[in-house]
Amino acid sequence: MTREEARKKAAELVSRMTIEEKASQLRFDAPAIPRLDIPAYNWWNEALHGVARAGTATVFPQAIAMAAMFDEEKMREIGEVISTEGRAKYNAYSAQEDRDIYKGLTFWSPNVNIFRDPRWGRGHETYGEDPYLTSRLGIGFVKGMQGEGDVMKTAACAKHFAVHSGPEALRHEFDAVASKKDMYETYLPAFEALVKEAKVESVMGAYNRTNGEPCCGSQTLLVDILRGEWGFEGHVVSDCWAIKDFHENHKVTVGPQHSAAMALEAGCDCNCGCTYQSIMDGVRNGLIDESYITASCERLFTTRYLLGLFDGSEYDNIPYEVVECREHVELALDAARKSAVLLKNNGILPLNKDKLHTIGVVGPNANSRVPLYGNYYGTSSRYITVLEGIQDEVGESVRVLYSEGCHLYKDRVEGLAYADDRISEAVTVADHSDLTIVVLGLDENLEGEEMDQSNGVGSGDKETLLLPEPQRKLLDALIDTGRSLVVILMVGSAIDLSVADEHADAILQAWYPGARGGKAVADILFGKCSPSGKLPVTFYYDTDHMPAFIDYSMKGRTYRYMEEEALYPFGYGLTYSKTEVVAATLKSAPAADSDIELTVSVKNIGEVSTEDVIQVYIKDMDNPLAVRNYSLCVFRRIALDAGETKTVDLTIANAAMTVVDEEGKREFTGGHFKLYAGISQPDTRSITLAGTRPVEVEFVI
């Protein structure tokens, strides 16, 4: 069904509704209209990394972990699986007339906000700090979710529009002030890409104001940019209870009727919250014109028709048995393996279990299920922690000793004990082991959304990049034993790993790896596969040189603008082998009105088969308006056998050669450009850590 066909059907159906009925359909929990054979529908569903909050589903690695794969095609496959399971669950639930929350086909994912500051608690819901990487991964995910059939498989949603990345504690009253240059250079590109290229069906507004306007009622964002500049034809939904913030916190309106009017006039079609219950009062008081109600209602029913909710679809017979089936679980495991980032390795990894008698496994995240699934998750039928993964891998051949070591953040595990009550046990385990694997990090209780259902600290943001003090004490105690030490970090954001970097033999960033993530970690530790993930965010030494958290200027932030050296740079990640780009050539002379065609040859000069990620960065050498450093412009995951060389053709979009001026206008000005083709950034720190230098290609237009 084309959008125009769906729009006409929607308009005809809406024309038969009373104004009260139309107004009722703009709520997220839209009631049934029996006389028109319209069933109730709840618009609120979640699919950040699997169908969430509605029972059993395949639980994939958290979004930031999937970003570390640097793999657009894999993101499309994951989106396809999530939408398949979403359809299967919808078919089963709706057959029983279960129209509850989290059981519809409109999924409020992905989160394509830019992870601009490592203190932001929700950053692990995103695809990282780079607008190009975020755009490509978001496009893959949305295309997988929505499908390419005659009927839309599920409806994806780009959120949170726009300029939204903390602080969480202030989001209901905060005004994110960003220059037009930063808007169009960093904060808006991913949304534009998902609207124009992926044809995302929905866009969710943010809680905060942007440059003075509340995002869910912003004429600039929703009218001028989204529907005006970009031609968006889908529907807009508010973040939950965000419209209530207009009058209660932002103080830009005097009450719910005025807030509803402001949002409707900006084209916010669906209210997640309660403010649109005041629509009819607003109509009676002359504050709301019926035309806005009708337009929003038609857009929402257009989506329902596109999903085949009235006429049926090819997806109606997807059986429940596909939910968490073997193939889907294997895809999630594959994603967990590909997303892990090896940050340091002095040669201790991979482990040879034939040469080990005893392994010590220590740490608060070693045997906890919570860090497996991050936030916004479904329920798995089985979880495998890191401890369990290691135990399953070595079987009876190696003794595994275990100690929790410390609480995740409290100073003791047992309430009546002295502080640091598990450290002596952890040291004992280390002293009796050939090597110790310590599993540290955070979980959704420490980093996440403000007042999320599992967020134990209220805000969810981090004050510093340091691990909680009990974990730092545990790490120091294990280092003092002098024993071999492998650090596994389960976390969704950048952490200060200076101590581990100096003293540990290896560091593996495992993120929040999904329900069976412990098996994926064990597969990497024991060499069943080579790690191949790359950091989608910068790991800073600290925040001393960063702008204030509330400062939305990009100056000094992320790899594109930072002025300090990184501990672990964006795009960095080791493998068990060594790959390098050995040649990069332009296929033809670049021109102003065409894409750049680049041929890259990559060789695995090591002794282990592995995957790696080709990364190409571009720098405008002349224009003072260009980003301070350089920008990722194309990437490609590639598999190489030991000693193998492959040559691939890469296309760099013409837009990579443009600059954004102070008025937000993107233009091509020509000049001198440099490309860096490698397996990392071209900065000195990346070259030192990766042990290979990108190939440079220069051209002038």
- How far apart CA 591 and CA 589 sit, in angstroms, is 7
Q: Could you tell me which residues are beta bridge partners of residue 639?
A: 611
Would you call 197 a catalytic residue per the annotation? Answer: no
Q: Which of 72, 185, 201, 239 is catalytic?
A: 239
In what helix (H) or strand (E) does residue 189 lie, and over which residues does it extend?
helix 189-196
Task: Find all residues with CB under 8 Å of 250, minimum gap 6, and list them.
Answer: 172, 173, 175, 209, 214
Helices (H), 361-466: 370-373, 386-394, 423-431
CA 114 to chain centre: 9
Q: How many CA atoms lie within 13 A of 115 on its CB side?
A: 32
Tell me how far apart the alpha carbons of residues 699 and 701 are, in angstroms, rounded to a whole number: 7
Number of residues in the chain: 701
Choosing from 72, 201, 388, 447, the catalytic residue is 447
Give φ, ψ of 645 to 5 degrees. -120, 135
Up-side HSE of residue 461: CA atoms within 13 Å toward CB? 18
Query: Are the CB atoms for 373 and 550 separated by under 8 Å?
Result: no
Residue 393, amino acid = E
**d(C-alpha 150, C-alpha 136), whole Å:** 24
CB contact at 8 A, 372 and 333: no
Cα–Cα separations (whole angstroms), residue 366 to 361, 383, 442, 686: 7, 13, 11, 29
Is 447 annotated in the active site?
A: yes
Q: Enter the tokens of residue 198.
A: 């992926």
CA atoms within 13 A on the CB side of 514: 33
Active site residues: 239, 447
